[in-house]
Amino acid sequence: MMEQFAQVALPVPLAKTFDYRITEHVPVVGARVKVPFGRQHKVGIVTAITTTPSVAAHQVKAITEVLDDVPLWTPAVYRLLQWASRFYHHPLGDAMGAVMPTLLRKGRPAALKQQKWWQLTEAGQNQPVTGLTRAPKQARVLTLLTHGPTPHADLVEQDITPAVINALVDKGWIAPYTPPLEGKSWARHFAISEDKPSLNHEQAMAVATINASDGFACVLLEGITGSGKTEVYLNVLEPVLARGEQALILVPEIGLTPQTIRRFERRFNVPVTVMHSGLNDTERLSAWLAARDNQAAIVIGTRSALFTPMANLGIIIIDEEHDPSYKQQDSFRYHARDLAVMRGHEEKIPVVLGSATPSLETLHNAQTGKYQYLRLTQRPGNAVTARQGVLDIKGHHLEAGLSAPLIAEMRQHLQQGNQVMLFLNRRGYAPAMMCHECGWLASCQRCDAYYTLHQQHQELRCHHCGHQKRVPPQCGDCGSTQLISVGVGTEQLEAQLGELFPDYNTVRIDRDNTRRKGSLESYLAGIEKGEYQILLGTQMLAKGHHFPNVTLVALVDVDGALFSNDFRAPERLAQLMVQVAGRAGRASKPGTVILQTHHPEHSLIQALIHKGYQAFADSALAERRQAWLPPYTFLSLFRAEGHEDNSVQQFLQQVRQTLAASPIQHDEVHIMGPMPAPMARRAGRYRWQLLIQAPSRKVMQQWLTVALPVIQQLPLSRKVRWSLDVEPQDL
Ligand code: ADP
Ligand code: ZN
Ligand code: ZN
């Protein structure tokens, strides 16, 4: 028989597979194998079996161990990964390694760990317990086991040590027991809670439309916060779960609240598995296995949960589909929302994209009929929408960023016993520290950026490279000791609020003080209980939480987003504004939203305040069309960085030439750059970028596919750090 070799995709940043000799049985395609790689071993995925290795057969090393009898992923997820690897031009093995639970990448068996059980043997059953007075613990075990097989953990809980158990095993009185698999038992317990609202007309229409789809369909469900989107999801899930099929629900990174999870559990009485970054490796693996083996009916997770294999998937729901956290920003740079649509296609099931403020890409797809477009325009229970207003702060005296009219308004709401919420997207005490005598600004040595002052820790911290140091006693230039802070961050605002409103408690929610595990949850619980009256935070606070007693929301400073380099900044600001407006107030307590700006006349603000998100989106889309920006064109971004400014720029120049020499000519493809990145130096590295703009995904892919192998051969490509971001979210 001809000798056989396995092609293996390994978690390394090289766009190729590696051949290994098959010694024992032939692994199936999609199974994990452990193989020697350099001086170590790595776990990879078999992508093909061949009789002709790519290098001389005697040089090919042997597989160390075949780890799986069956493919690791379902066929649909396996195809999805291959598609994503091609589309994002990321090496398949590296992509696979990135999305598999860490323990699987380390070679742990891909099977739910069977709990160990013990039972009495026949000899044990006939053993009179009274004969064991000198070994009371052994006697206890025998007594316990007379009630039937018992999990090992239960014995441990009764202070039974392994020595006691081993003694009984040696005597032949007890033996291991294999419990029958519970299997798909959730389908037997499935029930729909009677305690559920009857749908309004729009909700009923949405549910009917989604459930009528046979096979793949993509649906945009647009509805303001509180309009009952989650209620629609729940109703859409009814027939899916009743058929015994599973549901996958993606939520933004910070949007995964215990309330949401409980809502799904209660409604259907089925197991809900949660996957988020807070899980440890063991928890993550068991969640993954529960999903794959159909022990979980519903999987709720953040971005990477998209790749969870599911035995019998019936629907995918992406909540808050516009949220930027769906885009992976390093290494394997995929967009989970876009890939979810692809997965729905592969699985032949519906995909629901829900949002109060759909991304312009998704809106465009809905408006052009590529997606079905469903809207919820009413809030159940006649809740009124928030009143919105702009506060022109030109020339106003500001106290830690707050104008006098805003402070007055806050006081009024607080005196009525309501809560007030303030947004400021800058953590720390102040975004810069300056010398009052000569104007010197403390800036990071390694970045083109100023240090942020963190007063509480008496530290200067660079928010770009993480560098930190003690606050210097003197100016770095003239030696003056008159150092002052410039601008306002959340830490300073918090201190000021304490002085302005000594009778009320303020809670601050940002990345700095929610680092400790459980701290965010405890703050949120405190808000719910009314322990805090003033809520202050970065946009972390805007996501996923309902605050029914908040009647005033203020965006303290929106000017930065109006004049940003990033063409998506206005869209993000509009989304934030609508999101927070939706979180304020309820039927009996209508909310007010206030924006502080120096530019009240700005067209974005005008459109949003007077006409709403839809009008804003229409005008923003018109601008994008004019400017040849997504969704009307498709972008890819080469980023490069290195210690030598010149070679970084030169590398991208060569990339440009390679692209331009492409045999696929297309007048509508534009290459822009190389140009310095928005932060031209970070952590001591010089950074440049090159932007490609193509009229279609197809043309973009043709260009990249032809050029990349050449680019990878450029000598400079090994000297500078570079990456390709297909359809980048941040420019
Ligand atoms: P969203 O997900 O759009 O924010 P939810 O589904 O959470 O909205 O609904 C907001 C609130 O309104 C929830 O308390 C929910 O139970 C309630 N609700 C939703 N639909 C209805 C309905 N048809 N009748 C009564 N209450 C409803
Ligand atoms: Zn820095
Ligand atoms: Zn100075």
Testing ligand 1's pocket by substitution, the residue of 201, 207, 224, 231 carrying the most ligand atoms inside 8 A of its CB is 231
Q: Residue 312 pLDDT more than 60?
A: yes
Q: How far is the CA of 479 from the centre of ligand 3 (A)?
A: 6
CB of 597 within 6 A of ligand 1: the answer is: no
Q: How far is the CA of 233 from the centre of ligand 1 (A)?
A: 11
Return the percentage of the chain with pLDDT > 70, whole number: 97
The answer to whether residues 9 and 87 touch, using CB atoms and an 8 Å cutoff, is: no
Which range among 37-46, 89-98, 109-118 shows the weakest confidence by mean pLDDT? 109-118
Bridge partners of 37, per DSSP, are 40
Residue 668: phi, psi to the nearest 5? Answer: -90, 5
Q: How far is the CA of 43 from the centre of ligand 3 (A)?
A: 57
pLDDT score of 183: 52
DSSP annotation of 539 reads: G
Q: Which atom of ligand 1 is least distant from the CA of 225? A: 4
Ligand nearest to the CA of 264: 1
Ligand nearest to the CA of 434: 3
Q: Which atom of ligand 1 is least distant from the CA of 319? A: 2
CA 692, CA 156: separation in Å to the nearest integer?
62
Q: Which atom of ligand 1 is least distant from the CA of 582? A: 4
CA 701, CA 484: separation in Å to the nearest integer?
51
> For residue 385, what pLDDT band results from cuts at 50, 70 and 90?
low
Q: Which atom of ligand 1 is least distant from the CA of 546? A: 4
The answer to whether residues 534 and 450 touch, using CB atoms and an 8 Å cutoff, is: no
Average pLDDT over residues 498-523: 90
Q: Which long-range contacts (C-beta less than 8 Å, at least 24 apart) are formed by 181-189?
A: 182/295, 183/294, 183/295, 184/244, 184/294, 184/295, 186/270, 186/271, 186/294, 186/295, 186/296, 186/297, 187/241, 187/244, 187/297, 189/269, 189/270
Average pLDDT over residues 48-66: 90
pLDDT score of 516: 83
Average pLDDT over residues 147-166: 84
Average pLDDT, the chain: 90
Give the angle subtended at the CA of 409 by the CAs of 405 and 413, to the nearest 5°. Answer: 170
Q: Residue 637 pLDDT more than 90?
A: yes
Ligand nearest to the CA of 439: 3
Q: Which helix (H) or strand (E) covers residue 676, if one does?
A: strand 670-682
Average pLDDT over residues 233-246: 95
342-to-530, 593, 714 alpha-carbon distances in Å: 44, 38, 33
pLDDT score of 107: 93
CB of 355 within 6 A of ligand 1: the answer is: no
Ligand nearest to the CA of 441: 3
pLDDT score of 254: 66
CB of 401 within 6 A of ligand 1: the answer is: no
CB of 231 within 6 A of ligand 1: the answer is: yes
Q: How far is the CA of 398 from the centre of ligand 3 (A)?
A: 25
Q: Residue 369 pLDDT more than 90?
A: yes
Return the percentage of the chain with pLDDT > 90, whole number: 65
pLDDT score of 690: 97
Q: How far is the CA of 669 from the centre of ligand 1 (A)?
A: 46
Q: How far is the CA of 443 from the centre of ligand 2 (A)?
A: 8
Average pLDDT over residues 66-91: 96
pLDDT score of 182: 54
CB of 684 within 6 A of ligand 1: the answer is: no
CB of 229 within 6 A of ligand 1: the answer is: yes
> For residue 536, what pLDDT band results from cuts at 50, 70 and 90?
very high
Contacts of 326 (CB under 8 A, 6+ apart): 250, 252, 303, 318, 335, 336, 337
pLDDT score of 58: 83
Ligand nearest to the CA of 475: 3
Q: How far is the CA of 1 from the centre of ligand 2 (A)?
A: 61
Specify the residue for token string 């690791």.
72
Which range among 112-126, 360-374, 675-689, 692-706 shows the weakest confidence by mean pLDDT? 112-126
Q: How far is the CA of 445 from the centre of ligand 3 (A)?
A: 17
Average pLDDT over residues 302-321: 96
CB of 544 within 6 A of ligand 1: the answer is: no
Q: Whose CA is nearest to atom 19 of ligand 1?
A: 228
Neighbours of 696 (CB within 10 A): 13
Average pLDDT over residues 107-131: 81
Q: How far is the CA of 468 from the centre of ligand 1 (A)?
A: 46
Q: How far is the CA of 231 from the centre of ligand 3 (A)?
A: 60
Tens digits of per-residue pLDDT, 180-209?
A: 655 558 888 888 888 889 999 999 999 999
Tens digits of per-residue pLDDT, 612-631?
A: 899 999 989 999 999 999 99
CB of 225 within 6 A of ligand 1: the answer is: yes
Q: Which atom of ligand 1 is least distant from the CA of 233? A: 6
CB of 226 within 6 A of ligand 1: the answer is: yes
Which range among 20-29, 67-76, 145-154, 208-217 shows the weakest confidence by mean pLDDT? 145-154
Q: Whose CA is nearest to atom 8 of ligand 1?
A: 228
Q: How far is the CA of 686 from the centre of ligand 1 (A)?
A: 50
Residue 552: phi, psi to the nearest 5? Answer: -135, 125
Q: Whose CA is nearest to atom 20 of ligand 1?
A: 228
**Sign (positive or negative) of CA dihedral 200, 202, 207, 212:** positive
CA 354, CA 306: separation in Å to the nearest integer?
16
Q: Which atom of ligand 1 is least distant from the CA of 223? A: 3
pLDDT score of 546: 75
Q: What is the pTM of this model?
A: 0.86
pLDDT score of 255: 63
Select the more confidently predicted residue: 455 or 565.
Answer: 455
> For residue 710, what pLDDT band results from cuts at 50, 70 and 90?
very high
